[in-house]
Amino acid sequence: MPSRLGDRSAIPSGYIGGLDTYRTIAVAAVVVHHYVPKSSGVHRVMPLGWFGVQAFFVLSAFLITRILLVEREALQGAGSIPDHGKRRDAFTRFYARRTLRIFPLYYGYLFGLFVLALFFNVGSVGRSIGWNLLYLQNFSAMWTDGPSFTGHLWTLAIEEQFYLVWPFVMLLVPHEWLGRVAGLAIGVGVASRVGLLLADVAPGDAQRITFARLDAFGAGALLAMWTAPGKLTVRRRTLVVASGALGAVALGGFAVRKLIGPFSRVGGRTFAEEAAFVWVGLAGAAFFTFVIFAIASGMVPRPVQRLLEFRPLRYIGSISYGIYVWHILAPALWREGWSLLTGGAAEYDHIGGLGLTLIISALSWRFFESPINSLKSRFPSAQPAVFPDQAASPAASAQ
């Protein structure tokens, strides 16, 4: 039962089912971005791929920070300084659980792609394999054309880089500085996009730089800190709501501008493109922060709540990691399979690809990811368990 807004802690502990539906919507935006032709009017309204990824980044930071707040509480209690062994155990638990959740599917996909390359044309898999193995393909994409079926994995590289650094921030930085560090991350994200813009880096390349997406991670982390038990005040709640409203207005204005058309050009790009690159990412971070807050706190109308709890939508969200990983390759598998079975050119590539994506993702979760994920019980979360271990994003979408 969601907490009332009058409670000091508006976001309850425990599993938040509505966030699975949030994941479904986010991954659907990414799939539409990749499946619908660029000439379609859909792309004129909003950069769906950008916002789908931004939605995942905010959620990932929110959930990961909740987990690390539990670890921090277990380590420090009322402010005592933990010894080296306890810190080491906390890092071991966190990274072991993230490894079991993220690596099997990711490296399984790369291995499967390598095997398929022996029989089918799936791009130059070996050209950037080192970057992919090290989760650095978001940087390699700036200088080389990545293989077509691993190009979308740059978002997972950004997430993994965040996972690598953020635990040290959460477990080592003094408590009174945590909120300031999250706020600094927001500022660095915006400043990085401005700097890259002034350096004339193409927005498509610049959006892959981790620093340029830090406002999404900072916003999600700040929400987790503010909504920890006993931390949510009326003032902070008002700020969350106001930021969401401003984000919605900014996104709406951007959509109208894209529909009307560009008004001017700066450095060969339209003003709308410049605004999208610098400001719309921040507006999206604010908007999705509010959406997560509204869902987690129960601050949504009853019909919306029923939709959020709709089991098929929640299930799709629970396998959204697999959907994200497989949805680029699936249409090609559909075409090859259709050709082998019928001898003719495939029809309805993306419809068949979507169906195949859902089937592969469901089977992967049931028979591959879930059994491995169960091994996390060997690395139990810190106690007391104020929040659940439910980090979810393109890189970790199930509990």
Reported as a single tens digit per residue, the pLDDT across 59-83 is 999 999 999 988 888 887 534 445 6
Whether 11 is in a domain gets the answer: no
What per-residue confidence (pLDDT) applies to 61? 97
Residue with tokens 């190009």: 151
Distance (Å, rounded) from C-alpha 261 to C-alpha 255? Answer: 10
Using an 8 Å Cβ cutoff, are 181 and 80 in contact? no
Query: Domain residues for 268?
Result: 18-376
Whether 65 is in a domain gets the answer: yes
Using an 8 Å Cβ cutoff, are 213 and 158 in contact? yes
State CA 132 to chain mean position distance: 18
What per-residue confidence (pLDDT) applies to 79? 47
The torsion defined by the Cα of 136, 137, 138 and 140, in degrees rounded to 10, comes to 100
Whether 126 is in a domain gets the answer: yes
pTM of the model: 0.87
State CA 215 to chain mean position distance: 13
Whether 4 is in a domain gets the answer: no
Partners of 66 in the β-ladder: none
Nearest alpha-carbon partner for 169 in 312, 65, 98, 298: 65
Whether 398 is in a domain gets the answer: no
Using an 8 Å Cβ cutoff, are 144 and 152 in contact? no
DSSP 382: P
Whether 384 is in a domain gets the answer: no
Partners of 269 in the β-ladder: 266
DSSP 367: I
Q: Using 50 as the pLDDT threshold, list the residues of the chain that sit under it.
A: 1-9, 78-81, 262-267, 384-392, 397-399
Whether 254 is in a domain gets the answer: yes
State CA 303 to chain mean position distance: 26
Whether 383 is in a domain gets the answer: no
pLDDT digits (tens, 9 = 90+) for 209-221: 999 999 999 999 9
Using an 8 Å Cβ cutoff, are 321 and 390 in contact? no
- Structural domain total, the chain: 1
